[in-house]
Structure 1
């Protein structure tokens, strides 16, 4: 289960670089390959338990509204979790922390003249609400720092007792990086022994407990203070999952130093050389002609503002069209492309419905269509097994619907169409199932959506009756009014399609 770390040091002792070899965990081979940032290549995803896998995600520091950089990370991770759960049928146990005490939270509280708890509660509630709007599934377990302070202190205490951490002259506690021979396994770093610190033994050492006499603070064996950022995730993840985690996820910006430090101190705590078997990192989200999106750079777009410009489904589609490890460029063009792709699939599903309702006459080649479906299913399986390649999946789906559409829009010259509802339904079901696996649903089951649908049904039936009257009486004025209603509804996202004397609608 543990990795083997091979340490190569420069004999000059001026500097050294660590090299690490990752060894496959013992367990059940899922048949999936994922990118490994230690080996810098795709490795077989092997989980410790055949019946379930454990997944920890770094949660937010709740001091401000979340931006779409956060949204892209959590949506992409949600897509991967759904693939593992809904496509590969694994029982994925998910855990997330909430950092509800931090210097940024305290500063925000002082600015607004409220308590730090009020700030944390406000932005945590906003965070969950926006994740719900984005269709992101909530984790099975959520652990807040302030509710688990005893566990964090206990975690640090063990590291100090085993001389892997120390109390410095500033009364803070630091992890001793020199005690972790595999430090730098996630991101190659150079270590210079000549670099000194006035407080720490090494400039690479990082804070586990930050001394503070100011409020808020907690008591500890080393005095009053608050935990460091990195130790929170290690202590909470270990509490929820234990000494070995299958998958640990977050944005690429967390790989170093946050995830590197998590791995180092957790390996020290559990006396193991590998705490996390697989690290999954999502790429940055950039604004066009800009650096990565972050609050510190003041170039953020809030989730709530983005959802005023586009839909959650369109944003999710943009994430699907990008490999999870790749950077994304946020722009109006990106959103428009995603909206168009979403519209193509929605129109395809509507066309299939029209065909099954016999609004649309078509000639279907059953054998050819089923062969295309089978090939698409095989290609999609290969793509998902290859580091969750969702853009390639979308390419294969597009090819399948193109083949199907060509049949749906072809009628027999003899007037005897081969209808074959079953093969068209099979393709429609497959497309909807794959997209649903990614969290894209074209048919809402909510009561408000059902009420809206019933209202539009009534309007469509009324227009259809009026239109039939206009056709029978050859009344151009009535038909013009019906066209006006159709065009007006289209401007509001409702598409009316006329099929002879019958009409259908979609949105």
Structure 2
């Protein structure tokens, strides 16, 4: 989302580098347990990861940097730090460590940019280190592990150094934005910043650090593999659409924790269904399959659009406030709802029978359609390809539903045309049957909207539960 906002609203085209750690303790252990080569394991995992990103409509990075393909650059980076007297071999196993104390003694350098000394959880001296804050730049190899030659002994890079070295290879001595989860601020980003400032002899390496919140199952339990409460993207997309999941994420500011709770899930479903229903109605009016009840008040609607556009853009360019941006679109949708979805017995205006006014109203509807598709699409929410979101685990042919709803609509319209003095009981029975049939289809995720004598429209629901159109 951040990348899209920078491009669409700040006229900045970011070059996004993604680092791929394809060798570390966990990978080595898993490869040994599985009896497969590390390269085979990591490339398979990488492929699945990028397939998942594509499934969720996440833009791919501009470039990739794999650790195993950048070993010479990483070794050179470490060597430069060592030559400045900011690295030493620990006394336990000989691994090369970054000397935080020596770094802090350098002019203009300081540690703890992201945390105070009192926030450290592990204050005990680690094996052979001068200071508990010191961290490995190069780990000496152990039997059964992949190793590379270096002036510090055969081994492999430490976790923090690989990111600094690879980013510096592509971007030089400075990067604009560095992002990651909140848990990476310390020690990972803290250590990256220190070693990068040491290498480039600067006081600030990354201009902006963006730290995101965590995903929680309910109010307390953080989603993690160790707790066994994770869910894969393919499993997720069996239960909901990618668009729904993006809405669910965007309704929480990126800095805050995202909680998977019934109320938050229902809130996201409500947003999704409101926009699905709105776009379906607009398309029905534009195609002529649903008569427009009355001309639109063009100056008023255009004023609503301009206000929504301004609020949407202001929210996104103010620390990427996606919840506020979505609510600006919801406000516009709610204002349009009574106009595009008149009540069951609302009388049609006299101008409904006049051609004057309807042509320009249809043009305005086209502008509304383009407006919603463009603005929501700018944050990765695609409402353009199909106005009907087929719910998971449902296999209802669209053509069949079209026919069923059309038949019900004919019965309902004929019932409305029956004069009361002829047979009010028959009319009531038919309308009651239509309402009952609508409820039955609703149970199968097909939502029908009746528009007085103008006809009916329908859309798939993203959930079998009834949702509200009110903002929360």
TM-score (norm 2): 0.80
- Cα gap change, 1:114 to 1:239, in 2 (>3 Å): same
- Cα gap change, 1:295 to 1:456, in 2 (>3 Å): closer
Partner of 1:312: 242
Partner of 1:189: 117
Partner of 1:386: 318
- Cα gap change, 1:404 to 1:84, in 2 (>3 Å): same
Partner of 2:470: none
Contact 1:365 1:407 in 2 (8 A): no
2: distance between equivalents of 1:414 and 1:299?
56
Deviates more, 1:121-130 or 1:256-265: 121-130
Partner of 1:120: 42
Partner of 1:506: 459
1: distance between equivalents of 2:227 and 2:235?
18
SS in 2 for 1:309: coil
Q: CA deviation at 1:141?
A: 0.3
Q: Which runs of 5+ in 1 are unaligned?
A: 1-78
Contact 1:463 1:482 in 2 (8 A): no
Partner of 2:139: 210
How many residue pairs were aligned? Answer: 425
Q: How does 1:101-112 map to 2 (within 5 A)?
A: 101-112=23-34
Partner of 2:334: 402
How far does the alpha carbon of each residue in 1:289-313 deviate from its partner, in whole angstroms, 9 at most, with x for none? 4242222344333333332322221
How far does the alpha carbon of each residue in 1:310-346 deviate from its partner, in whole angstroms, 9 at most, with x for none? 2221111011111110111113432222112111111
Q: How does 1:82-481 map to 2 (within 5 A)?
A: 82-169=4-91, 170-178=93-101, 179-180=103-104, 181-190=109-118, 196=125, 198-214=127-143, 215-356=145-286, 357=288, 358-410=290-342, 414-417=349-352, 419=358, 420-444=361-385, 456-457=398-399, 460=402, 464=406, 468=410
2: distance between equivalents of 1:191 and 1:349?
50
Q: CA deviation at 1:100?
A: 0.8
- Cα gap change, 1:187 to 1:498, in 2 (>3 Å): same
Q: CA RMSD in A?
A: 3.3
1: distance between equivalents of 2:87 and 2:444?
62
How far does the alpha carbon of each residue in 1:255-302 deviate from its partner, in whole angstroms, 9 at most, with x for none? 100011011101111111111000011111111142422223443333
1: distance between equivalents of 2:340 and 2:454?
19
Q: Which runs of 5+ in 2 are unaligned?
A: 419-425, 461-472
Partner of 1:30: none
When you count strand as a share of all residues, which structure comes out higher? 1
Deviates more, 1:135-144 or 1:106-115: 106-115
1: distance between equivalents of 2:331 and 2:450?
27
Contact 2:294 2:348 in 1 (8 A): no
Contact 1:315 1:335 in 2 (8 A): no
How far does the alpha carbon of each residue in 1:60-85 deviate from its partner, in whole angstroms, 9 at most, with x for none? xxxxxxxxxxxxxxxxxxx1111111
